[in-house]
Amino acid sequence: MPEQTTAPPPIAQHGASQLSSVTLDAYNAELRDKDGFIGDRASKRAFRAILDEWRERMRAAGEDPLGDAPTEELTKRRLDKVLAEGDVEAAGLVQAALEEFSQELAAVTRRFLKLKGWRDTQRIAVGGGMSGSRIGKLAIGRASVLLKADGQGVELRPIAHEPDEAGLIGAAHLAPSWIFAGHDSLLAVDIGGTNIRAGIVELNLKKAKDLSAARVIGLDLWRHRDDTPTRDEAVQRLAEMLRGLAARARSEKHRLAPFIGIGCPGIIEADGSIDRGGQNLPGNWESSRFNLPTALRAAVPELNGEPSVVLMHNDAVVQGLSQTPFMQDVERWGVLTIGTGLGNARFTNRAPTASAD
């Protein structure tokens, strides 16, 4: 697939700071010290490294209560089970790693709260794959307690939706409400350093106009890290996923809006290019001649008989947008996503405008 030329988006800028319900104050902050990215200390990889260190200490003292399986093979579900009903020493080992990780998550959060764009944050939703497990929720709760205890004035809570779905549901908040007229669903994409997810998001606007009842009703997942594709192969596969989901929506009598919302790592420019932060994606996604929204619009030119509109923003921003209906009791709030790295975004709620209906 040749590199794409950019085309101006027809309804809004990609990576916009002014969205329908919120102002985006900051995102994709890359805090560093002499050891590298500070956010990496609160990533999934960091938790695994901490757990591995604790297991090494136990082996040096006699025996590892978690057995011989490598740490990377211990799933979140298995670790949750150890905490709930496992041998007390094995549970204690996992708890020790959790405590250390919680301390790191709290420390990283403190650094974010010192940034100008993060000042006076009242609540932070923590997402990413780890937040959907019991161990993840315990780490978030413990970090929240630590932050409150030292007077930070911020609450951490797990993201409201299933983490694998939040990045898709948030895409509905990228679109202006008028584009949903006469439609009940949309296509959404969540691109990560390991997986690409594409899904059908049912809006359920009759049940909740604020999109709080939106849900994923169709999902296609590709673990691209296992296949090591080129960039063009990845784009082609994603286009196939979207066309397949559009066909499924038609067969199930869903009325897709002519809109595809994308969450993608990195700093997203107004023309849909990626300035930086796409280093974990397959191939060079930061080329000024590569434009994912333009490529996908060419691959899926129509939806439900209408010209497609494709809009892209940072993946942590989009995941955070899924929380908008649940953050109406605070003014300033943020999101941290525990994944390959630590995604981040800070929002301020905008005053509601009068409906045009």
Percent of the chain with pLDDT over 90: 77
Q: What is the mean pLDDT of residues 205-229?
A: 93
Residue closest to 4 by CA, chosen among 261, 235, 280 = 235
**Cα distance between residue 34 and residue 21, in whole Å:** 38
- Identify the residue with better confidence: 12 or 56: 56
Radius of gyration, CA atoms only, the chain: 21
Q: What is the mean pLDDT of residues 57-86?
A: 94
pLDDT at 356 over 50: no
pLDDT value of residue 298: 94
Condensed to tens digits (0 to 9), the pLDDT of residues 252-302 reads: 999 999 999 999 999 999 999 999 888 888 889 998 889 999 999 999 999
**Cα distance between residue 20 and residue 307, in whole Å:** 22
pLDDT at 2 over 50: no
pLDDT value of residue 5: 44
pLDDT value of residue 353: 52
pLDDT value of residue 355: 46
pTM: 0.90
Task: Give me the residue label for tokens 């089970």.
Answer: 81
Neighbours of 305 (CB within 10 A): 7
pLDDT value of residue 341: 80
pLDDT value of residue 92: 96
The CATH number assigned to the domain with range 173-315 reads 3.30.420.40
Report how far apart, in Å, the C-alpha atoms of 47 and of each of 97, 136, 153, 188, 259 are.
7, 10, 25, 29, 37
Condensed to tens digits (0 to 9), the pLDDT of residues 122-175 reads: 999 999 888 889 999 999 999 999 999 999 999 999 999 998 899 999 999 998
pLDDT at 230 over 50: yes
- Mean pLDDT score of the chain: 91
Q: What is the mean pLDDT of residues 48-56?
A: 97
Condensed to tens digits (0 to 9), the pLDDT of residues 322-343 reads: 999 999 999 999 999 998 788 9
Helix spans in the chain (H): 44-61, 76-85, 88-113, 134-149, 163-169, 224-227, 231-251, 292-299, 315-321
The distance from CA 149 to its chain's CA centroid, rounded to whole angstroms, is 28
pLDDT value of residue 20: 87
Read off the pLDDT band of 11 (50, 70, 90).
low
pLDDT value of residue 7: 46
Q: What is the mean pLDDT of residues 312-316?
A: 96
Residue 150 identity (one-letter amino acid) = D
pLDDT value of residue 278: 84
pLDDT at 14 over 70: yes
Percent of the chain with pLDDT over 70: 95
Q: Residue ranges per domain, the chain? A: 32-158, 173-315
